[in-house]
Every structure is written in structure tokens, then in C-alpha cells.
Structure 1
């Protein structure tokens, strides 16, 4: 069936795959050619390598450990607002990092709510900066991801097993040992490795909460080599080490099964006869309340403090918001076009889809380093700050988009391929009349996700942007550095609103008349 799709739909995918390969492998090659020997790295650079691995390991460990009781409680309890809470667990995918950072600062910072409560008790306020701040922020971002992955595991357990356990008079320990523990052994390693990979490539969190010789990641060291020393050779060597760390994490993740991020089982509450005791109810209530407060308190702090500061924003913030909006729309359009072309071509050759997914193992800052080296030889890289940011963000969002478009496209070809062949529908006509109407829902969701991710990105733009050409996340970071926290909160609320609005509009477009 698929081989009869007109060849005009194959070549765009081939071009898109070549572009992705150039941005992943090509930039890596540029970095490798410029890299120095390992002797160029100082003791503090190797500390950054160790810190990257240690903080990623602990962040993934804590995220998974806290997600297990939280997911278990959500899986066996039904209460008003449960579906809304589960929906909010997906918010970190589109939540701008700098917004979450400000929210965490408002709650856990020296003048935050937690420190105020401690001062009332006669204790010293806590500091969110340093190693523990980086781990705390990563747990905030990845605890919802781990909870959703594990919740799907609980939802996949047949209800008959719990009924059988009840008939055999299994106690809570027996149910956990014979029913829940095998599921956790299957899912937890994959969830852990995915979160570990995410934390190794985190830049904005380390940029804000890290710094100094004891709290610097490899990506932050790359940025410092660029901005402070302009040592491209050292930055290139650090970029190669970052790629090696990511590659090892990806190889490790291939050994474990990672559940798909979907909705299957998320809204299913299993009748649990072992969970009717009062201690079980109290324990589940405790974890649901703790996780809800941990996730919602920073967002509430942004809403309350940002509402007061949004009326006093300087013109530079609104200009930065416009730049971010244009960049996000361009990135979303480019990501959808490239992903759709790759998905169509993958109907004939699945290898192209694998190339499109390869960016999941890449670091956006490493891509930016390679592009900076290439452009530096022929032009001023700052002139290309926004196009480069849009392009890198588009490539980084392609693995998520391909996971949404690929199965839907293959299903449409399987169901309507023979009929389309008999009607002579090939090429663009087949795409327009058969595929696109059935891809509208995943395309809308994917476009919203890509736009929201690009809107809140604080990564590549830090390497390229001039002071007068900042995006909104970078402008917020500069306001924080100038201790203009009220304006930073207002700008963060603006960024959050724009990101959510973009996602909502695209997602609504996909669902209408789908």
C-alpha cells in the first residue's frame, strides 16, 4: 500500500531528514573539529561533568520515588477534581522553565513563603540556590512526568487481578508484592532513564539556581566558555562530553521499556478492596495533597505576584514578547512541516523516522555551539539569533510530534490505502483528501506543543542574542539579574499566558471539525 504513495511526498521527507542530520551530526562534527584535547579542561570543568551526572541521577531518583505513592493514590481514589489534577500533571510539558523557576523562588526562596513560615518558628530562611535548588527544580518538572507514566502502568493492570486478590484474602503487602511490584519493575527503570536524560540537558535551571564551581553543569560550562571567555575550543570539547553523556543515557534507555505518554488508563479508577482501610485512605490523601501543593503553589505565586507587576512592564518586555511570539509561530510551522514530511516518507522507509527522532539524544546548546562555529567564520551569528532559535527548537520538538503523527498516519494508510489506490489518489491529492483530515487532531496538539516549547525556551538564544534583541524568557532572566522581581513576575505571567494561549488555540483548531 504505502509504496504506491506518489514519490513527490517522499523527497520533502528526505530533505527534512538531511536537515535534521546536519543539525545533529553536522554540528557535532563542527564541534569535534574545533575541540581541544582533554588536557585543556581544568579541575572545575571535570567537577561540572560530575555535577551533571550526580544531579541528574538524584533528580530522576527523587522524581520516581515520590511519583510511586502519588500515582498509586491517584490510581485507586476517585474525588472531585481528579481529572483536572491529572490534566495539570501534563502542564510541565508546556510550562516555560523560567516561569517555574520564578514560582519556585517565590515559594522556596529566602523571601518566599516557606522561609517566612520558618522565620515565624524562629528558624533561619532557606536558600534555593546551589545543588539542592537544581535538584528541587528538576523534581518539580519531572515528578508530574513520572506520575503520569506510572499512573498508566497502574491503569493497565486488569481489574480482575485485584478482584482475584480480594477473593484470596490478600493483604496490602501481598497485593503490592504480587500485582503492583511486577508492574513497577517493568516501568520504573524506563521512566528513570528518560528523566535522567532530560535532567542532563537542562540549562535554564542550572543557569538560574546553579553557578559556581560546586553547582555547574556541562551545559552551563559551555555557556560560560562562550560568554565569559569566548573560548570556542574549550566550549567545543565540553559540548563533545555533553553529547557523550546524552548518548550513554539514550543507550541505557533502550534497555528498558518506556510507556507512551498518552491518556490510556489515566482516568480509570480500579476498585481496590485492599485500599478501604482508614490508614490507606489517610496515606493516599496525604500524597495527593502534598503533590498538589508542590506543583500548584509556584503557579499560584506567579499568578498573585505577576498580576501586580504586569501593569508596570517596560517597553523592552513587550518587544521581547513580540519576538518570542514570532519565533514560536515560525518554529511550530517548521516543526509541523518537517515532521509531516518525515512521517509521510516513513511510510516507504522507516529509517527516515529514526533520523527525525535522533534529536532526542542531542543537546540544543551543543547544536547552538556548532552553528555558532559555522556562522562565525562567514557572518555575525547575532544576526541569525531568532532564525537559529526557531530552527533548533523545531528540531528538538520533532520527536514528540513524530510520535503523535506517525501512528495516526500509518492507521490512515492502513484503513484507506487500498481504497485510495483504486480511486487513483496519489501524491498531494492523497495527502490533502485522505491524510490531512485524519491528522488534524494530532497536528493541532503538536503545533500547540511546539509553539509553547519554543515560546518558553531559554537555551540557544543565550548564545546568539544581542542585548537589544532578547526573547521574553531571556528578558525575564535579565530582570531577575537586576533584582527587578516584581517586573520579572509580571513578565513571567505574560509568558505563561502567551504559552498557554498558543497551545489552546492550536489544540482547539485541531479538534474542531476533526
Structure 2
């Protein structure tokens, strides 16, 4: 055993404290929801025609968004997989990563700039004599926005699966003279069929819990999801009973979706390979190259034009005026303080949970309690998936209403909610790096007597700095661009950058909103880039 019993107890205690803190924060919010309204009134509210209509629309838009995202991603992934030497291919793949790290509100502004009433596309159609044929608001706008954000995710996952197909498959296909239709049927489709259920389930989950996009592009009561209805019930109607019923309905909905995702089979291995260079026979013909090039360019335009619209609209705004406003610096300071605090808290919680899980493994106990603790520390980061941020905010909003002005507690609540929101990603980045590092260094460090602060400074930090930086920057960017947790607590005295952008949009000060969106987007982009930087890890150091 490389850790003493006292050290193992300390590490497990730290993990237990974090676990209790997470469970307590989520549990108290859920308990407040249950306590705020009686069972009979909840059941009555759940079966209201309005709530049933909201539930139907939530499921409908999630289903359609998932279907469109997956269907459109298949030809793009096929084209990128076939054309490995397509000019600018690597930049197009990188472009597909941008919407995943972009604040949702900025993406919505970019889509409005292209598809909105005064957008580029409608302006061109008006020149042709058509009277505003495209509407960005309502169901069509929600679907368009969800495809914009989720199609790149589906495409990258499908492309990764297709690129794992052994080169020997393509060699045999070439030898057999298989045509593109046969190649899709016997090689590509079996691969895609194995990953599409997981991809579709993930996208359905993201669309069913969508808040900012629906709030921005919903267009009224006819296009409202459960999470937006929760916000409206408290922010505008102040109907706690309905908010409670909707929140519990959202918890049940996410639990059913997560349960369904857990039942999906894992993708199968494509087979053994000798690692030869891939030469696909179906991408060599001129017609195939032209078709694939057209598909890839259409996808690049679909993703790139809204991003370009944000940049151009932001540059046309009076940036110097915005930078001179006191409210900008106040909101920027608030957002920066919240995002840094949330990222630090997420890192600390993750490190205590990861360390505790490793200590349980080192202890080697097969007792049911040890196994339960190990499973609980692993699943703690996923609680925010079961109880989404807007539901957590609603629970704490109702719980703290009796203690005076809720906005006083807003900064602490938003920090905690944003930390939990980024915890799944932070855990998935840190745990593999932590386990590999400890496996490589623990024996040598123990034999040299390097412990405590010296080990942290000389051994752990040089090796774990890069994954910690990646996790920290992503958590900070996620918190910086979040509107969901702030929506219930935003006010004149408590303003973040996303809330300021949304407020300027709501007051029809679109030029200001465009400029603020550009600034916020650049900051989030720089944070994303920073997460990929850092000193290279010295692989040869402290290996066991």
C-alpha cells in the first residue's frame, strides 16, 4: 500500500464531504420544490392543459431536432471521411468544434443575423420579390438553432467512428469492385448504426433541456419548453405551484431520458487492423469529389455564416461606447468573478472525488459500503443532468424567498450551480489523467520519500497542469456564457454579460447586443484556446 491508513482516511473524508455537499445542494433544492406545494395541487397542475401542451412541445421539438441533426450529419461525416485530402478539411473539422464551445446566446444572435427578419437570407429573398418567407422564431427557429449546435457534434462523433474502420476493409472493397451504394450498405451503415443511438440519445437530452435557445427564439406560449415555462412561471406570473409542477415534471423527464441512455448498447469494435494507410475506392471519382465537396461547403456555410454575422455585426457596433459604459465593466467583473469561482470550485470538487475513488481502489475493500461509495463518487457529477440548472435555481429561489431578497444569495447560488454544471466535463478530463499519472509515479515517489507539498510541486503539478488547465478553461467558459442559472436572479443590481446581452436584445438595442456578444464570444474563444495550451508533459519523469 503506497498511502498510509491515515492518508487514505483523509482522502476518503474529503471525497465524502464533496459528495455530501453535492447531494445536499441538489437534495435541498428538490425538497424545497416538494415542500412548496402539496401533492394534490401538484397532481392537479401536472394535468393542466397548458402543462400538457408544454410537455408535448418539449418532446416534439427535441424529437425533430434530433432527427434533423442526425440526418444532416450523416452525409457530412461521409464526405469528410471519404475526402481525407480535401482542401481546408482540418479547418472545417475545427469549425465544427466552435458551436460546441460557443455561448448559446451568441449562436442565437448569429442565426438571427442570417435568418432573421432583417437577416442576410431574407434580405436577398425580399430583393427577389418574396415577402419575408422565412421566420427565425417559433418551432422553425428552434429547430434551426438546435441543428446548428448539434449537427456538428453528431458529425464529429460519426466521423470518428468511420475513421476507425480498418484499412483492410477498404482494400477488400476495392478488390471486389464495390460501388458507393454497396460500400454504404455493408461497411459504413453498420458502423453508423452502432453509434447513432448514443448520438441521438445525447442530442435528444440536450434539446429536451434546452433553455436559452427556446427563450430567445421561442416566439411565445405556443413554442415553450418545460424549462422556459418554469422560468416564466416564476419570473412573470409568480406562480410557485405551477413552477413546482413543471420542475418535478422536468426531473421525471430527464430521469427517463438518462435511464434510456443507460440501456443503449456500447458501439462494437470495427475489427483488427495492421495500421495501413486508408485508401477509399468510393472517393476517387470526379463526381464523388464534386458531390462531397458540395456537401462539405454547404455545411461550412451553414456553420460559418452565423459566426461571421456575429463578428461583422459586432464590429459595426460602437465598441468604444460599450467599453466606456459602467454597466459593461460591472457585468464583466461579475461574470469574471462567478466564472473563476465556479471553475475553481469544480476543480476542487473533482480532485477530491477522483482522489477518493482511487483511495477506495487502493484499499481493496469488497464491502458493499465501499462499492456504494465508489459508485456514488462516480455518479455525483451526473446529478446536474438529472436535476437541470433551471430546476436547481427554482428550488433554491423558493427555499430562500422566506429569508428576504433572493438576489442577495444569487452570486453564491450561481457559482454553485455553474460548478455543478461543468462537473461532468471536469471529471472526465481529470480522472483518466490523474489515474495514469498516479500509476506511473506512485511507486518511485514513495520509494524516494517525496510526499506532501514537495510531491504536489515537483511531481503532480507538472504532469497534471495541462489537463487541469483544460478543465479549468472549459468550466470557466461554460460559466461565463451561461444564461440559464442567471435568468431567475438577474436584475438591475445583479448583471452578468449574458444577461446584459439578453436585456439589450429585449429592449431592441440590437447594435449594443451585437457588440457585447462579440466581446463575450472572443473571451470564451480565448479561454477555449487556452485550454489546449500549456507545457508538454515529460513522459519519462517519475515512471514506476
TM-score bracket for this pair, using the shorter chain length: over 0.9
- Partner of residue 68 from structure 1, selected from 66, 74, 83: 74
SS at match of 1:460: helix
Equivalent position of 1:364 in the other structure: 389
Equivalent runs, 1:109-508 vs 2, <5 Å: 109-125=116-132, 126-257=134-265, 270-309=278-317, 310-313=319-322, 314-349=325-360, 350-351=374-375, 352-425=377-450, 430-508=455-533
Cα deviation for residue 432 of structure 1 reads 4.5
Cα deviation for residue 234 of structure 1 reads 1.5
Cα deviation for residue 277 of structure 1 reads 1.8
**C-alpha distance in structure 2 between counterparts of 1:253 and 1:156, whole Å:** 23
Cα deviation for residue 320 of structure 1 reads 1.3
Cα deviation for residue 72 of structure 1 reads 1.3
Q: Give deviations 1:168-206, integer Å, cap 9, x for gaps.
A: 221112211111111111100000000111111111111
Gaps in structure 2 of 5+ consecutive residues: 268-275, 361-373, 540-544
Q: Give deviations 1:456-482, integer Å, cap 9, x for gaps.
A: 101111111222321111111111111
Query: Do the aligned partners of 2:314 and 2:516 also contact (CA within 8 Å) in 1?
Result: yes
CA spacing shift, 1:347–1:170, aligned 2, 3 Å = same
Q: Once structures 1 and 2 are overlaid, which stretch shifts more, 229-238 or 299-308? A: 229-238
- Partner of residue 86 from structure 2, selected from 72, 79, 91: 79
Cα deviation for residue 87 of structure 1 reads 1.8
CA spacing shift, 1:419–1:463, aligned 2, 3 Å = same
Query: Do the aligned partners of 2:390 and 2:484 also contact (CA within 8 Å) in 1?
Result: yes
Equivalent position of 1:31 in the other structure: 33
CA spacing shift, 1:457–1:511, aligned 2, 3 Å = farther
Query: Do the aligned partners of 2:65 and 2:147 also contact (CA within 8 Å) in 1?
Result: yes
**C-alpha distance in structure 1 between counterparts of 2:162 and 2:458, whole Å:** 39
Query: Do the aligned partners of 2:283 and 2:289 also contact (CA within 8 Å) in 1?
Result: yes
Q: Once structures 1 and 2 are overlaid, which stretch shifts more, 394-403 or 40-49? A: 40-49
| Larger Rg, first or second structure (1 or 2) | 2
Whether 2:14 is the aligned partner of 1:12: answer yes
Cα deviation for residue 136 of structure 1 reads 0.8
CA spacing shift, 1:502–1:436, aligned 2, 3 Å = same
**C-alpha distance in structure 1 between counterparts of 2:43 and 2:445, whole Å:** 58
Query: Do the aligned partners of 2:8 and 2:359 also contact (CA within 8 Å) in 1?
Result: no
TM-score by length of 2: 0.88
**C-alpha distance in structure 2 between counterparts of 1:370 and 1:509, whole Å:** 39
Cα deviation for residue 318 of structure 1 reads 3.1
Cα deviation for residue 378 of structure 1 reads 2.5
Q: Once structures 1 and 2 are overlaid, which stretch shifts more, 100-109 or 331-340? A: 331-340
Whether 2:48 is the aligned partner of 1:48: answer no
Cα deviation for residue 149 of structure 1 reads 0.8
How large is the RMSD of aligned CA atoms in angstroms? 2.1
Q: Give deviations 1:155-178, integer Å, cap 9, x for gaps.
A: 111111111111122111221111
Query: How many residues of Structure 1 are paired with residues of Structure 2 in the alignment?
Result: 506
Whether 2:111 is the aligned partner of 1:100: answer no
Cα deviation for residue 100 of structure 1 reads 0.6
**C-alpha distance in structure 2 between counterparts of 1:2 and 1:367, whole Å:** 40
**C-alpha distance in structure 2 between counterparts of 1:31 and 1:432, whole Å:** 45
SS at match of 2:76: helix
**C-alpha distance in structure 2 between counterparts of 1:255 and 1:271, whole Å:** 36
**C-alpha distance in structure 2 between counterparts of 1:512 and 1:437, whole Å:** 7
Q: Once structures 1 and 2 are overlaid, which stretch shifts more, 25-34 or 292-301? A: 25-34
Cα deviation for residue 12 of structure 1 reads 2.2
Q: Once structures 1 and 2 are overlaid, which stretch shifts more, 349-358 or 159-168? A: 349-358
Q: Give deviations 1:232-289, integer Å, cap 9, x for gaps.
A: 2221110010111111111111122577xxxxxxxx9942112212222122112111
Query: Do the aligned partners of 1:142 and 1:195 also contact (CA within 8 Å) in 2?
Result: yes
Query: Do the aligned partners of 2:254 and 2:385 also contact (CA within 8 Å) in 1?
Result: no
Cα deviation for residue 219 of structure 1 reads 0.5
Equivalent position of 2:371 in the other structure: none
**C-alpha distance in structure 1 between counterparts of 2:100 and 2:194, whole Å:** 24
Gaps in structure 1 of 5+ consecutive residues: 260-267
Query: Do the aligned partners of 1:66 and 1:143 also contact (CA within 8 Å) in 2?
Result: yes
Q: Once structures 1 and 2 are overlaid, which stretch shifts more, 39-48 or 395-404? A: 39-48
Cα deviation for residue 513 of structure 1 reads 8.1
**C-alpha distance in structure 2 between counterparts of 1:436 and 1:241, whole Å:** 44
Q: Once structures 1 and 2 are overlaid, which stretch shifts more, 417-426 or 292-301? A: 417-426
